[in-house]
Amino acid sequence: NAGVMQNPRHLVRRRGQEARLRCSPMKGHSHVYWYRQLPEEGLKFMVYLQKENIIDESGMPKERFSAEFPKEGPSILRIQQVVRGDSAAYFCASSLSRGGLDEQFFGPGTRLTVL
Amino acid sequence: GDSVTQMEGPVTLSEEAFLTINCTYTATGYPSLFWYVQYPGEGLQLLLKATKADDKGSNKGFEATYRKETTSFHLEKGSVQVSDSAVYFCALEDTGGFKTIFGAGTRLFVKA
């Protein structure tokens, strides 16, 4: 059973470009979480999604960031008009049921570098 | 809001030394508590967890006990190995149950 998959593993963008990060949860998991890790810091929650629904986006910046988890296909975290401060590692996690009831399994992360 | 504070690193130990990484938390309810480990270039792996007061989580020689009276969840291991070198994160389940709140992480170096 494959784990959580994220791609790309490394992404380089210039300021003003768009970044798209993909996350395929573990098979059978319908709950997806996105976290951001700045250098030398812990992970900060961004958003929690179930299929086709955003449940909690309290950690998402109000502008330029969006997330979706369509009925078919991976979850996408989209960052428009990237700035240098967006450089970070972005981790996706998935769980079988709501976070707290079931363990969250983490992907290997996407390391975004904004030039 | 809920928060987690853990000791700053890096922590450098010799092989077979005793390890303690301190973690304290602030929460309005009684959250589940976790320790995660992150090896270089990888995502986080759940190391152990405890869901209620006085529970002890254990895995791979690591242990942590949920102490409600001191709001702590310190990580211990009796004899560390070089392969334990990693970053360790203490975390709690948000009382709303939707997200995990992480400490800043403690980097551990174990020398042979």
Say which residue the tokens 């494959």 belong to. A2
What integer pLDDT is reported at residue A99 of this predicted model? Answer: 58
Q: Return the structure tokens found at B19.
A: 């390890």
| Tens-digit pLDDT profile for residues A65-75 | 999 999 999 99
Would you mind telling me the total number of residues written for chain B in this entry? 112
What integer pLDDT is reported at residue A74 of this predicted model? Answer: 96
Q: Return the structure tokens found at B101.
A: 């709140």
What integer pLDDT is reported at residue A100 of this predicted model? Answer: 56
What integer pLDDT is reported at residue A41 of this predicted model? Answer: 78
C-alpha atoms less than 13 angstroms from C-alpha of B92 in its C-beta half-sphere: 24
What integer pLDDT is reported at residue B2 of this predicted model? Answer: 85
What integer pLDDT is reported at residue B98 of this predicted model? Answer: 72
Residue in B23, B34, B98 to test binding to A, most A beta-carbons within 10 Å:
B98
Q: Is the CB of A106 less than 8 angstroms away from the CB of B45?
A: yes
Transcribe A63-83 into DSSP letters. Answer: SSEEEE--SSS-EEEEE-S--
Question: B63 — phi, psi (to 5°)?
Answer: -140, 155
Q: Which chain B residue shows the shortest CA-CA distance from A92?
A: B43
Q: Is B106 on the interface with A (CB under 8 A)?
A: no
The percent of residues above 90 in pLDDT, for chain A, comes to: 75
From residue A6, alpha-carbon distances to A89, A92, B17, B64 in Å are 11, 7, 36, 31
The mean pLDDT of chain A is 91
Q: Pairing relation of β-strands A53-56 and A88-95?
A: unpaired
Contact residues for B69 (Cβ-Cβ < 8 A; gap 6+): none
Rg (CA), chain A: 13
Q: Is B99 on the interface with A (CB under 8 A)?
A: yes
**Chain B residues within an 8 Å CB radius of A108:** 41-43
Nearest chain B CA: its distance from A97 CA (Å): 10
Give the C-alpha separation, B31 to B29, whole Å: 6
Checking if the pLDDT of B42 tops 70, the result is: yes
Count of CB contacts below 8 A, A vs B? 64
Checking if the pLDDT of B97 tops 70, the result is: no
Q: Is B40 on the interface with A (CB under 8 A)?
A: no
Nearest chain B CA: its distance from A15 CA (Å): 25
